[in-house]
A and B are shown apart, each in its own frame.
Chain A
Amino acid sequence: MKRFSLLLPLIAACATPVGIASRDLVEARAMYQRAATSPAARVAPDSVAAARVALKRAEDAPAASDMERHYAFIAKRRAQLAMLKVDRIAAERDAQALHADLQTRTAQAPQVVQAPSGVTVEVTTTTPANQQQLATQVEVQKKEIDRLDRELADTRRQLSERKDLADAESKKLKDQEAALQAQIDALQADRTKAQQERDQALATLRAFASINENDDRGLVITVPAEVMFRFGSARLLPRAKEKLDDLAAALNRLGTEQTFVIEGHTDSRGSAEFNRRLSKRRADSVRAYLIEQGVSRDRIIARGRGEDDPVASNTDPEGRANNRRVEIVVTPSVVGGR
């Protein structure tokens, strides 16, 4: 409704005076009634119908609103147009009748002929062959042909303009559709490429680590501690660096936006405090090396979990070996895609 207020200055020249809204509606109803009960209903049914539609919109609009005033205005003008059509048709009939009268009078009028002898002779002719009558009839027919030609040209122009508009709209929609499809194709191509890179990265890691894609924390890469450290040490073994080179490459191929959590875990031998510090130092060592290999330090976090989160029993050697491990957790929001 607020937008409509912008309309008022633009139509001030033709708008009805701003007054009580219901008065506009009353006037519109009155004009419509005049048109609907006049010959306009028969002669100009389209205009009367258009007035009725506008009046209905005015009546449906909120009382005293700009919408009510606008459609009341349109209804009045349409009703005025319908009655004007009646007047115009009557005027055209008058003109036709007068033309016919003139033709008749002209045909009956005595013709003045200059005889070869120089004597003026008045001749009255009433036959259809009268040349002046024919000339008048021809003139009337020519006018009618001209009018029909103009109407035909007008109709052709309207059709042409509508076709141009439809063609332009169609082309615009096709262009939009093509642009959207191109974006979807590009997105799908990106996703396919990302998926392939992820699969390649995980395949590399599986050579020396176990990978769990269904962990609640996200994708978890588990590397046995024995692969990377001597017993009780947080210093990386040379062979561990080779593995971590592959790991760094794989992590970088997983994408550039995700973060990784390096978690160190131990078995339960030794004090809990010692194990927690050892696991933290081991996680820090892995983190530092991965950073050296190009993984951004902003994306990687190290934590020491000590013996608090075993994955197997600590009562037997095999279980303890499984508990001594380093886990790299890739956050769930990243695992599925970029």
Chain B
Amino acid sequence: MRRTFWIGAIASAVFASACATASPPPTNTLVESRIAVRAAEDAGAANDPEAAHYLALARQQVADAERLMRGHQDWTAQRVLERAKVHADLARERARYASARADAEATQQQIARLQSEGQP
């Protein structure tokens, strides 16, 4: 019985020191948010004002969450990362939309030029 008590006490002490906060560190969400930010960058979010706005928000929130995690405020960090992820997704989608619109406009201009040259 006493042996069980001591083993239990040491196990509790180890786990108590290992888990200083109630919420686990949101490392998965952090990675997902970072990947989403990178995907938005790759999609050219910096080239469209609206996408760039969302991208800036996402970057700032990822940085905020990292600082919160260093301070073991994991619960709050999780909420901030949820916002960072959705902003990064919006940035990427907006960038792709803007790219498609620009492509369409450029093609339209080529067609118009051909038409102005008297071609069908």
Instruction: Give residues in A with beta carbon < 8 Å to B.
Output: 3-4, 6-7, 10-11, 13-14, 70, 73-74, 77-78, 80-81, 84-85, 87-88, 91-92, 94-95, 98-99, 101-102, 105-106, 108-110, 150, 154, 157-158, 161-162, 165, 169, 176, 179-180, 183-184, 187-188, 191, 336-337
Max count, chain A CB within 10 A of own CB: residue among B31, B35, B39, B79? B79
State A180–B90 Cα separation when bound (angstroms).
45
Q: Which residue of A lies closest to B103 (CB)?
A: A95
B10 interface contact, C-beta 8 A: yes
**In chain B, residues 31-58, which have Cβ atoms closer than 8 Å to a Cβ of chain A?**
31, 34-35, 38-39, 42, 57
State A53–B35 Cα separation when bound (angstroms).
22
**In chain B, residues 1-59, which have Cβ atoms closer than 8 Å to a Cβ of chain A?**
2-3, 6-7, 10-11, 14, 18, 27-28, 31, 34-35, 38-39, 42, 57
Contact B6–A4 (Cβ < 8 Å): no
Q: Which residue of B lies closest to A15 (CB)?
A: B83
Contacts of B101 in A (CB 8 A): 91, 95
Contact A165–B119 (Cβ < 8 Å): no
Contacts of B104 in A (CB 8 A): 91, 94-95, 98
Contact B87–A85 (Cβ < 8 Å): no
Judged by DSSP, the binding face of A is helix
State A184–B10 Cα separation when bound (angstroms).
8
Contact A88–B75 (Cβ < 8 Å): no
Instruction: Give residues in B with beta carbon < 8 Å to A.
Output: 2-3, 6-7, 10-11, 14, 18, 27-28, 31, 34-35, 38-39, 42, 57, 60-61, 64, 68, 73, 75-76, 79-80, 82-83, 86-87, 89-90, 93-94, 96-97, 100-101, 103-104, 107-108, 110-111, 114, 119-120
Q: Which residue of B lies closest to A336 (CB)?
A: B2
Q: Given A98-B108, A109-B114, A183-B14, are A165 and B27 also a contact pair (CB < 8 Å)?
A: yes
Q: Which residue of A lies closest to B114 (CB)?
A: A105
State A296–B61 Cα separation when bound (angstroms).
63
27 A–B contacts, CB within 8 A, in A order: A7-B80, A10-B64, A70-B83, A78-B86, A81-B86, A81-B93, A84-B90, A88-B93, A88-B100, A92-B100, A95-B101, A98-B107, A98-B108, A102-B110, A102-B111, A102-B114, A105-B114, A109-B119, A161-B34, A162-B31, A165-B27, A165-B31, A179-B14, A180-B11, A184-B10, A191-B3, A191-B6
Contact partner of B83 among A74, A98, A179, A336, CB < 8 A?
Answer: A74
Contacts of A74 in B (CB 8 A): 82-83, 86
Contact A110–B119 (Cβ < 8 Å): yes
Contact partner of B111 among A4, A105, A180, CB < 8 A?
Answer: A105
Max count, chain A CB within 10 A of own CB: residue among B34, B64, B97? B97
Q: Which residue of B lies closest to A85 (CB)?
A: B93
State A225–B106 Cα separation when bound (angstroms).
114
Contacts of B79 in A (CB 8 A): 4, 7, 70
Contact A84–B76 (Cβ < 8 Å): no
Q: Which residue of A lies closest to B97 (CB)?
A: A88
Contacts of A158 in B (CB 8 A): 35
Give chain A nearest CB distance to B16 CB in angstroms: 12
Contact A73–B7 (Cβ < 8 Å): no
Contacts of A87 in B (CB 8 A): 97
Q: Given A10-B61, A84-B93, A88-B100, are A108 and B119 also a contact pair (CB < 8 Å)?
A: yes
Interchain residue pairs A-B with the least CB separation, the first 10: A91-B100, A88-B97, A98-B107, A95-B104, A92-B100, A95-B103, A77-B86, A10-B64, A109-B119, A94-B104
Q: Which residue of B lies closest to A57 (CB)?
A: B82
Given A91-B104, A105-B120, A179-B14, 20 more pairs with CB closer than 8 A: A3-B75, A6-B73, A10-B68, A11-B80, A14-B83, A81-B93, A98-B107, A99-B107, A101-B111, A108-B119, A108-B120, A109-B119, A109-B120, A154-B39, A169-B27, A176-B14, A180-B14, A187-B7, A336-B2, A337-B2
Contact A77–B90 (Cβ < 8 Å): yes
